[in-house]
Amino acid sequence: MEGSFHKEALSLNLYLKLDHGAGKEIDLTECPRKKLKKQCVKYLGPIERNQYEYVVAEGKIVHNQSRHELHTIEGSEGPKTKWIFVMSPSGRLYIGKKEKGKFHHSSFLAGGATIAAGSLEAEHGFVKLISRYSGHYQPGDDSLERFLSFLREHGVNLVGVQMSCTSNALGQEGSFASVALSSPQERRSSIASSRHKN
């Protein structure tokens, strides 16, 4: 027991030296410090996390503090912004814009456990598209089902919502299917059949 504690303390000490001690000035040509700083994924603390919390009110997804409706649909000019979400084990929903190399699914809960993760699109609070893709969490069909159940239990109408139930190792999303499902059994059946088509 004492040996593992000692190894952990040495490891922590190494990271402290690299981040705050003499090691913070090390700059390798193979991996410059400037490049490392650009690739740091932000992890939110409990207070910062509140800025990203959304709730369902009257069938719409709204920001928990401001009560503004979630609106991710942008004009056709410029690159499309990807909006990502995670649902915490306590059932809290966090949504934000993905920033490659800076803000990912793991940012919301500081790499902690989730019960659902993916991306979505919403128009004035109404969900239009849901994908279960997350490179960090790699959610399965059960994760998507939990998220759909959460939305349905909170009054979100899922008729006509496009869903992606597949993902691959290259980080690309699968095909989208429009759904009009009323029961959990119908949703599970649709998820399973879309998985077999791809």
State the pLDDT at residue 180. Answer: 45
Domain membership flag for residue 82:
yes
State the pLDDT at residue 198. Answer: 45
Domain membership flag for residue 14:
no
Domain membership flag for residue 61:
yes
Report the number of distinct structural domains present in the chain. 1
DSSP class of residue 82?
P
| pTM given for the model | 0.71
Question: Amino acid letter at 17?
Answer: K
Compare 128 and 35 and report the one with higher pLDDT.
Answer: 128
Instruction: Give 90-135 pLDDT, tens digit per residue.
Output: 999 999 999 988 899 999 999 999 999 999 999 999 999 999 988 8
Domain span at residue 149? Answer: 41-166
CB 117 within 8 A of CB 93: no
Q: Has residue 4 got a pLDDT over 80?
A: no
Q: What SS3 state is found at 135?
A: coil
Q: Which token pair is 102?
A: 């800076």
State the pLDDT at residue 185. Answer: 54
Kind and range of the H or E run holding 3 = helix 2-19
State the pLDDT at residue 30. Answer: 78
State the pLDDT at residue 167. Answer: 44
DSSP class of residue 76?
S
* Phi, psi values for residue 161, rounded to 5°: -75, 130
Chain-centre distance for alpha carbon 158: 20
State the pLDDT at residue 163. Answer: 86
The mean pLDDT of the chain is 79
State the pLDDT at residue 172. Answer: 46
* Phi, psi values for residue 185, rounded to 5°: -65, -40
CA–CA distances in Å: residue 195 to residues 96, 159, 175:
27, 20, 9
Domain membership flag for residue 3:
no
Domain membership flag for residue 52:
yes
- Beta strand segments in the chain, E: 53-57, 60-63, 83-87, 93-97, 116-123, 126-131, 161-164, 176-179
Mean predicted confidence (pLDDT) in 65-69 = 97
Mean predicted confidence (pLDDT) in 49-78 = 92
Radius of gyration of the chain (CA): 20
Domain membership flag for residue 88:
yes
Domain membership flag for residue 30:
no
CA–CA distances in Å: residue 186 to residues 103, 145, 179, 189, 197:
34, 11, 10, 5, 17
* Phi, psi values for residue 194, rounded to 5°: -70, -30
* Phi, psi values for residue 120, rounded to 5°: -155, 165
Domain membership flag for residue 197:
no
